[in-house]
């Protein structure tokens, strides 16, 4: 789909550039940050910050199935997800899709359907850079060939290893109601689900070689990969040794400390920061930031938390705005090796988040030089000063 790209200069705002907040203008044309005279939009009273890069979000699940028993077409859900992300300043997003032995919406069939739909949506109408992260359960041994074919076919560039087996066994003993819900979503009775868990777990001796084979192929394909919910330093070290360097949502300080010691990037959920801790009682993201044990914040299940978390870190005295915003812009760009974004500099992608300095609300998002979202007073200023040509419809 062809999108009109405006050429504009944003003036009067406080710009985050070269790690510093400066009252300067920023111009963009043909999808890139540029220099030179262009039609101006006065954004006095606003911040213009690098577009948010979200490395892990599963809010799309809510848009696809707002109720567990009421799914909508994937195209509809992806469109709603993009609007949600854009309205909260996101310009590049990885949508976290499970690839699990569980089946149902988390199984390989659902994952392949999702990847096909995402490919189609990107070709037809996406404004944001939407990508897929595959959350690969460690005990999916029999799907190795199928998984590798899927990541090649769809250009998947990010995989995270999960292991939910112990959680399932624990729920059987402590929360049978949750196990029942889990089983129902997968189309099984609780007993059938528990039998599957035990059968899968019986093959745990095959898992290390399986993960090593995947790691070798991911390296050949240039895929970034890591692990999710590491419970301790030993687990993180094991993953790091096979090349799964990204430490996503460590549940204990020891896992994050090991990651820092070996140079592995540490990702935590922005909602954890905004809400003041983890719902499950795990280590608080703010505590890891305080200890310099967190590099990147991600949306997890809630896009508004990204910008809110950055300002929460500022308010709590844990970081200044340049450092806090780097955790959702330049740092994730470095982790996923995106040299063309995450900062505001001539020649880079024109990915910009415009925030009202008083309310801290996102009021404009520009992705690849295209206007992805406009709202509030910023919309009035763009409409009043940019002219009809610059604001050709998205």
Burial 236-259 (b: 16+ CB within 10 A, else e): bbbbbebbbbbbbbbbbbbbbbbb
Question: Residue 297's beta-bridge partner residues?
Answer: 268
Average pLDDT, the chain: 93
Global pTM value: 0.94
Q: Compute the half-sphere exposure of residue 15: CA atoms within 13 Å on the CB side of its CA.
A: 20
What is the structure's pLDDT at 170? Answer: 76
CATH number (3.10.450.710, 3.40.50.2300, 1.10.1840.10, 3.20.20.140) of 52-340 reads 3.20.20.140
Looking at domain 1-51+341-394, does it have CATH number 3.40.50.720? no
- Smallest CA-to-CA distance from 151 within 113, 122, 115 is with 115
- Smallest CA-to-CA distance from 88 within 388, 386, 375, 391 is with 375
pLDDT tens digits, residue range 99-128?
999 888 899 999 999 999 999 999 999 999
What is the structure's pLDDT at 279? Answer: 61
Contact 8, 26 (CB under 8 A): no
Residue 2 has pLDDT above 90, yes or no: no
Question: How many C-beta atoms surround the C-beta of residue 178 within 10 A?
Answer: 14
Q: What is the DSSP letter of 51?
A: P
Q: How confident is the model at residue 390 (pLDDT cuts 50, 70, 90)?
A: very low
Q: Where are the domains of the chain?
A: 1-51+341-394, 52-340
What is the structure's pLDDT at 64? Answer: 92
Q: Compute the half-sphere exposure of residue 339: CA atoms within 13 Å on the CB side of its CA.
A: 1
């Amino acid at each position: 789909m062809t999108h009109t790209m405006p050429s504009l200069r944003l003036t009067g705002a406080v710009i985050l550039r070269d790690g510093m907040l400066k009252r300067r203008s920023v111009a963009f044309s043909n999808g890139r940050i540029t220099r030179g005279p262009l039609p101006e939009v006065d954004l006095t009273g606003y911040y213009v910050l690098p577009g948010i890069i979200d490395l892990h979000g599963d809010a799309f699940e809510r848009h696809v199935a707002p109720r567990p028993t009421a799914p909508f077409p994937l195209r509809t859900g992806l469109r709603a997800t993009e609007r949600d992300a854009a309205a909260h300043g996101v310009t590049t997003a990885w949508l976290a899709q499970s690839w699990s032995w569980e089946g149902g919406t988390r199984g390989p069939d659902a994952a392949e359907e999702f990847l096909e739909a995402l490919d189609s949506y990107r070709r037809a109408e996406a404004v944001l850079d939407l990508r897929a992260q595959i959350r690969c359960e460690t005990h999916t041994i029999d799907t190795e060939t199928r998984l590798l074919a899927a990541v090649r076919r769809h250009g998947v560039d990010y995989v995270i290893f999960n292991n939910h087996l112990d959680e399932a066994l624990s729920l059987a003993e402590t929360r049978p109601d949750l196990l029942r819900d889990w089983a129902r979503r997968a189309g099984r009775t609780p007993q059938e689900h528990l039998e599957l868990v035990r059968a899968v777990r019986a093959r745990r001796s095959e898992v290390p070689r399986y993960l090593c084979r995947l790691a070798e192929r991911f390296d050949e394909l240039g895929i970034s990969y890591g692990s999710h919910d590491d419970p301790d330093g030993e687990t993180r070290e094991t993953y790091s040794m096979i090349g799964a360097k990204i430490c996503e949502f460590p549940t204990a300080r020891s896992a994050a400390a090991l990651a820092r010691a070996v140079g592995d990037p540490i990702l935590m959920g922005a909602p954890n920061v905004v809400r003041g801790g983890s719902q499950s009682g795990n280590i608080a993201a703010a505590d890891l930031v305080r200890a310099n044990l967190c590099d990147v914040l991600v949306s997890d299940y809630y896009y508004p938390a990204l910008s809110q978390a950055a300002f929460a870190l500022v308010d709590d005295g844990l970081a200044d705005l340049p450092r806090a915003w780097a955790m959702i812009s330049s740092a994730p760009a470095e982790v996923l090796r995106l040299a063309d974004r995450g900062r505001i500099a001539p020649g880079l992608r024109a990915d910009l988040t415009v925030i009202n300095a008083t309310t801290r609300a996102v009021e404009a998002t520009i992705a690849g030089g295209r206007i992805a979202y406009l709202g509030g007073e910023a919309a009035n200023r763009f409409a009043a000063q940019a002219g009809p040509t610059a604001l050709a419809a998205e």
